[in-house]
Structure 1
Amino acid sequence: MGRRVGIEEEFLLVDADTGRARGDGPAVARAVEEQTELQQQQVETGTAPHTDLREAASDLLGRRARTAAAARERGARLLALATHPLPTASATTRGERYQRLEDHYGLLVREQLTCGCHVHVEVPDRGEAAAVLDRLRPWTSVLLALSSNSPFWQGADSGYASYRTQVWYRWPTAGPTEPFGDAAGYDRATARLLATGVPLDAGQFYFDARISATHPTVEVRVADVCLLARDAVLLAALTRGLVETAAREAADGLPVPDVSVAALRAASWRAAHDGTGGELVSPTSGRPEPADAVLTALVDHVRPALLDAGDEELVLTGLADVRRRGTGADWQRATAARSGVDAVAREAAEATLRS
C-alpha cells in the first residue's frame, strides 16, 4: 500500500429556496466539528489520513453527508462548486485573523468566494518533501484541468473551465514556485517571502504545492473542489502517485525538470481555460497537446507508483469515467444550457452527495 493521504474540501453554502449564497458557514462548521473558511458562505471538511483510498472515499462521503445535513437544518444546501454560479456578495468570517486579511488585502479578500481541494500526502522527511515539490511542479496543471469545476462567475460564463484559478492567483503568494533544492532552500525562500511583509504569516504560502506547516505532508493545493466525490478520490490517487514518483526520482538522483515559473503559470492558465476538453501544455515537451494525450502521459508517468499502491484500477476507471461524462465544469455548462444558470445551484446539491 502507498503513503497515507488526506483530502480537504471547501464547499459553498446556499439558500435552499433561492440558491443564493448565505452565511451559515461558521454555524455549520461548529455543528459538525469541521473548519470555518475565509467567507461566511463557506465551510471546509478534512478526512483523516488513509492508506486505503476506499476508506478515504467513505470518509469523504460521510463528511459531505454530515455537513449537508447540518446545512439543511438551517435551510441551506451544500454545494461542491469552486465558484458560485449566480451573482453573489460574500462576507468575511468574523475573527481576528480574517479581519486582518481583509484590512490588508481589501477587495481581493472580498472576492475570494472560491472553493478548492487540497490533497495531503505523507512525507515525514522535510528534505524528501522539498525534493518532491521540485519534481512534481510540471504536473500540477494537469491535476487542475482534471478537477476544473468553476466556469461561472457572477452569473456569467467566464470562458474558463476553472475561473477559480484566475481569482485565486490574484493572491501575491499563490501559484507555482521555483525549485527549492532542499529543506534549507525551502526555509530560506519562505523566510524571504515573510520578510517582505506581504504575507501576514506562514499560513499564506498559497503555493500550488507546499510543505505543510501542521502535518508531515506535502500538500498539493492546485485543484478546484470536485463536484463528485469519486473525482476527489481520483485526484488523491494521482497526487499520491506523483508524490511517490517524485520521491523515487530524487532517491535515484534524477535531475529536477528545467522549467520556469513563467512556463508553469502558462501551463496553469491553459489548464484553467480548457479543462480536459481542449489542449494542455505537455509536462514533458512544454508544447500544447490534446488533453487526453496529456492525461495518458500522466498515468504512464506514475504507473509504477500506482501499481505498488494498488491504485491503478481506480485511476484507469476514474479517468475513463471523466472522459465519458466530462468534469464538473462540463456538467455545470450542460446544466445551464438545459435549464438555466439558476439550475446549476439547485441541482449541484444532489450531485455533491453522489458517490
Structure 2
Amino acid sequence: MIEPRAQMNNVSMYSPGKPVEELKRELGLDHVIKMASNENPYGFSPMAKEAMMEEMKNVHYYPEITAPVLADKLSRNLEVPANTLIFGNGSDEIIRMITRTYLNVGEEAVMASVTFPRYKTNVVIEGGKPVNIPMKEGTHDLQAMKKAITSKTKIVFVCNPNNPTGTIVGEEELLQFLESIPSDVLVILDEAYYEYVHTDDYLQSINYLDQFPNLIILRTFSKIYGLASVRVGYGIMASDIVQEILKGKDPFNVNRLAQAAAWAAIGDKEFMTMTKQKNEEGRLYLESNFSRLGLSYFPSHTNFVMVDVAQNAEEVYNRLLEKGIIVRPGHLMGYSTMIRVTIGKQEENEQFIQALEQVLEK
C-alpha cells in the first residue's frame, strides 16, 4: 500500500446528513423529510433557474476564472470594490485556499471546539496545529480565544452565526476582539448564515474591512439563496490578500451555471424576503414547542435549531429515522444529548414535532 502524507492520518472524510434516497432504500419508506443539512426548503429563485437555462448554451466553454460579472453585481450589492471579492466552489473551498496560501507547517489556528469541522481539517492537511477552545453556553468564548494566541498563531476562525449551535457573538464583544488581534494574524469571520440573523446586536463586519486589513469575511449562496448543489461561496477581504490567494486557486473552480445562478439570485429580493420570513415563523414554532415539551435549546440566528432532548442523541436520531425524519445527531458534534434540526416548511416542522414527541415518550 502506498502511504499517504502523515497529516492524512489525522483527518476523516466529511460526514454529511443522511441522503433521503438512502433512508428510503434502507427502511422501505415512501415519505422522508430531510431536516439535517440546513438546506433551503423553499428551493431557489426562479430568476436563478432562468439564468442557468440561458447559460446552458455556453456549457462547452470554460468559465471566466474570476467570475467578473458576478463580482461586479455582488460588489454593487454589498458596496465593496470588486477586487476585494474572491469566489469558490462553496465557501469551504475558500477556507482551503486560505490555509494553502498562508499556513506554514507547525503554525497554529485558533477556533472554537464545536464549530464547522472543515476549519480543523484544512489546517491539519497543511501541517498546521488546530487550537480548540471550549464553547461557553454554545457560544464562542472570545476572551479564551484571544488568550490562546501565541507567536505561532497564523489564523483565528470565528463562525458567526456558529454552525452547529446557531449562536452569535454580539457586536461590541466581536469588535473589541478584532481590535485585540495582532495585525499579522488572519481573522476569518464565517458568516454563511448572515442573512438569517434577527437582532441588531450583530457586527456589520463589511464596514470594518478598511480598519482591519487582516480580516476575511466568508459568505455563501448555499443557504438562504438555496443554491447548495451548484456550489458558490465568496470571500470579502483586502485586495492584496485576494491576489495572493488567486495564485493557488484552481482556474475554473466556479462553473458557468453556478456563476449565472448566483448573479441572478442577487436580484430576487422577493425570494430572499419570503425565505427569511418563513424561516422566522418556523423558528418561533419550533422554539415554542420545545419550550412546551420542557426542552432547552441554543438561541438560533440561522435556519436550524440545536435542542437538548435530555436523552441519548444517537438513539433519538435513530428513532426519528424510523419515522422518516432525518436530523443531525449532536453526539457527532460534542453534544451527547442534543440534536440539530433544520427549520423546514410548516408541515415538515409539524411532522417533526409530532414524531419527536412520540419518540421522547418512549
Could you tell me the TM-score, scaled by structure 1's length? 0.26
Look at both structures and tell me which one has the larger radius of gyration over its CA atoms. 2
Could you tell me the TM-score, scaled by structure 2's length? 0.26
